Amino acid sequence: METDLRLESSLWVGNKRYRAVLTGWHFNWTEVDKKKTISVPVAEVIGVEEGRVEILPHKSVEDKDKDFTVFYVKRSSNGGSSGLVWKVGRTQFSCPSRVLRDQWTKQLRTAVKLHSPLRPQRLLVFINPFGGKKKGRKIFHSVVAPLFELAGISCHVIVTERANQARDHLLKKDLTGFDGVVCVGGDGMFSELLHGLIGRTQQEAGLCENDPTVTLQPCPLHIGIIPAGSTDCVCYATVGVIDPVTSALHIIIGDSQPLDVCSVHHTSVLVRYSVSLVGYGFYGDVLAESEKHRWMGPLRYDYSGAMVYLSNRSYAGIVQYLPADPLLSSPRDKTRCLSGCSVCSRSTERLFPHSSDSGSLYSANFSQFNSDSEGEWVRVEGRFRCVSLTCMSSSCPRSPLGLSPSAHLADGTGDLILVWDTHPLGFLKFLHRHTSTQDQFDLPFVEVHRVKAIRFCLPAGKEEDAYEEIVEQSSGTDEERGYIETVSRSGSQQRLAEGHTGRDLTNKQKTANPFLCGLCCSKSPSVSVWNCDGEILPFTEILCRIHGQLVRLYARGIENSTAAHDCSEEGDKCERRCILHK
């Protein structure tokens, strides 16, 4: 196959003569009598067009029938982010004959198809016009759509008119013909796609999402994220930069990054899924406070963070966790999960053992949860500043290495971070270390554990106190008190069936919920709320379980200059198992 695709000839770029070679894996061109070669992996070719073509407007500016233009991924300096920014490179070639030109375009297109089989042809795109700085529509139409057009991708675009529209669409509407789903927005929009796709896949597989011991079916459709939100943590942690062009190019070339997902259950009901943060205490309070200041845009988190920090709270709780196998990796091993991560690759083989193609999505039919190799549940009780669980590093522009810098995107585990009650300056030190390379776990009041599952509950007696507190502090009407009773005591099933979680609360309901007006209460509350990827959960007692590689994104993990080596090896010879050769 490789030899069939090989093509070599002289080509001109401008008035200089080049020797061009297509080897199957790479397209290289070297100026005659000079040493410097430009080498583009075929998998990173965006498009090949006859003539001399511009990106915008996407049309041939001169009808030269011996010319062709190649568009490809070009890496540029990262402006301080952890990953690399991708831009569109373009080179116009002239051939000695039209026959040779047709041969080049045909061979290049065939090679591209062969070496990047996951490239989408048709995408379903949801734009949240209100996310982040409200630029979603503009970003899509002016930056992303022209690139998709260049790559021959057709899109069905839906600008959302309400929260949960994207989730409901994915749960109910016909999705035939789509290769992937894209959101233009923030972590909340990504979360809608996540819930829609996971829910739809389990429905079709006849699996019960409420049962935390069930092995869920991985989703067949890939998810693309065009960042246009406030935190953009999922994009930053899987791509390494917040840049719509970079993300669009990862979608175009059909990159594939599996991602662990955490299911959160209350009693015997699924509450939500999370990929970044399930956090009680500080992060829960920051989210609850920030909902009141949505008008501030992304700054609301910094303002609310400062307010909540100054309110100096800690909360009693019981945490139980099921440790992951310590021989595989550790949250303190100072490694980073980068593109082509070997810990994640080994996990793919462990999670999908019957698959000949280690990346197959359809063979996860053994239970990781009930396996006895993981050991026993561990129980701790005390007062915490915060309890956080994250399936990945959760890096974002605010914290470039994230909540847990050595966490892995796709190893089937999460990191549990326990911050015990401490003096305010100690806690500030902990928070501040998130903004630098200093180790936030190297503090006497902080613990971190790599886990498969966790449980959280209030200490005996507090449960009843919490309930009393909710009703007592509520200044609402009987109807509002009824709502609180429903969410805090018995009605989880019914509420969840109706799709009620934090962001769905009406203003009236929010006023009735003392968690959400915590800062205006004189008495410091004894319970916090859970922040689940930016959604407030109306339950304190939860069970979380990590599902290894449940979804796949159009991404490849964070590339740094070494991970993105200029691979000149072919097939199995590539020692670093770069993305081309996995």
Ligand X SMILES: Nc1ncnc2c1ncn2[C@@H]1O[C@H](COP(=O)(O)OP(=O)(O)O)[C@@H](O)[C@H]1O
Ligand Y SMILES: CCCCCCCCCCCCC/C=C/[C@@H](O)[C@H](COP(=O)(O)O)NC(=O)CCCCCCCCCCCCCCC
Considering the rule CB under 6 A, would residue 229 count as an interface residue with ligand Y?
yes
Among 391, 496, 532, 574, binds Ca ion (CB under 5 A): 391
Hey, which residues does 29 pair with through a beta bridge?
20, 38
Among 435, 438, 477, 490, binds ligand Y (CB under 6 A): 435
Category of 523 on φ-ψ map: left (φ > 0), alpha (ψ -120 to 50) or beta: beta
d(CA 263, CA 178): 26
Of 320, 313, 322, 285, the closest CA to residue 459 belongs to 320
Instruction: Name the 3-class secondary structure at 28.
Output: strand
Among 98, 133, 141, 432, binds ligand Y (CB under 6 A): 432
Instruction: Show contacts with ligand Y in window 400-419 (CB under 6 A).
Output: 403
Q: How far is the CB of 548 from Ca ion (least distance, A)?
A: 8
d(CA 176, CA 173): 9
Hey, which residues does 562 pair with through a beta bridge?
none
Q: Which stretch binds ligand Y (CB under 6 A): 2-10, 156-164, 530-538, 557-565?
A: 530-538
Considering the complex, state which of residue 242 and residue 391 has its C-beta at the smaller distance from Ca ion. Answer: 391
- Residue 48 near residue 68, CB atoms below 8 Å: yes
Query: Looking up tokens 């390379």, which residue turns up?
Result: 437
Contacts of 494 (CB under 8 A, 6+ apart): 486
Q: How far is the CB of 220 from Ca ion (least distance, A)?
A: 21
Among 180, 188, 405, 514, binds ligand Y (CB under 6 A): 188
Binding mask 286-325 for ligand Y (x = CB under 6 A): xx-------------xx--xx--x----------------
Considering the rule CB under 6 A, would residue 276 count as an interface residue with ligand Y?
yes
Considering the complex, state which of residue 503 and residue 565 has its C-beta at the smaller distance from ligand Y. Answer: 503
Among 277, 448, 505, 550, binds ligand Y (CB under 6 A): 277
Considering the complex, state which of residue 305 and residue 317 has its C-beta at the smaller distance from ligand Y. Answer: 305
**Contacting positions for ligand X (CB under 6 A):** 128-132, 160-164, 185-189, 192, 229-231, 503
Hey, which residues does 56 pair with through a beta bridge?
none
Considering the rule CB under 6 A, would residue 186 count as an interface residue with ligand Y?
yes
Considering the rule CB under 5 A, would residue 260 count as an interface residue with Ca ion?
yes
- How many residues sit close enough to ligand Y to count as binding (CB under 6 A)? 31
Q: How far is the CB of 190 from ligand Y (least distance, A)?
A: 8
Please provide the DSSP assignment of 314-348 as one string.
-EEEEEEEEE--TTT--TTS----BTT-HHHHHHH
- Residue 153 near residue 121, CB atoms below 8 Å: yes
Q: How far is the CB of 221 from ligand Y (least distance, A)?
A: 21
Considering the complex, state which of residue 139 and residue 542 has its C-beta at the smaller distance from ligand X. Answer: 139
Considering the complex, state which of residue 191 and residue 202 has its C-beta at the smaller distance from ligand X. Answer: 191
Instruction: Show contacts with ligand Y in window 339-398 (CB under 6 A).
Output: 394, 396, 398
Q: Which stretch binds Ca ion (CB under 5 A): 161-169, 175-183, 359-367, 410-418?
A: 410-418
Of 549, 575, 58, the closest CA to residue 352 belongs to 549
d(CA 510, CA 501): 11
Count of CB atoms within 10 A of residue 190's CB? 27
Considering the rule CB under 5 A, would residue 408 count as an interface residue with Ca ion?
yes
- Which residue among the candidates 179, 187, 415, 533 is catalytic per the annotation? 187
d(CA 570, CA 118): 20
Considering the complex, state which of residue 469 and residue 533 has its C-beta at the smaller distance from ligand Y. Answer: 533
Considering the complex, state which of residue 15 and residue 373 has its C-beta at the smaller distance from Ca ion. Answer: 373
Considering the complex, state which of residue 125 and residue 403 has its C-beta at the smaller distance from Ca ion. Answer: 403
Please name the amino acid found at residue 156.
H
Q: How far is the CB of 2 from ligand Y (least distance, A)?
A: 44
d(CA 575, CA 581): 9
φ and ψ at residue 559, rounded to 5 degrees: -95, 125
Of 291, 273, 330, 283, the closest CA to residue 308 belongs to 283
d(CA 106, CA 95): 14
Which structure tokens are listed for 521?
């209460």
285 is catalytic: no
Which structure tokens are listed for 484?
């609180």
> So which residues are the catalytic ones?
187
List residues binding Ca ion (CB under 5 A).
Answer: 260, 391, 408, 411
List residues binding ligand Y (CB under 6 A).
Answer: 186-188, 229-233, 276-277, 283, 286-287, 301-302, 305-306, 309, 394, 396, 398-399, 403, 428, 431-432, 434-435, 531, 533-534
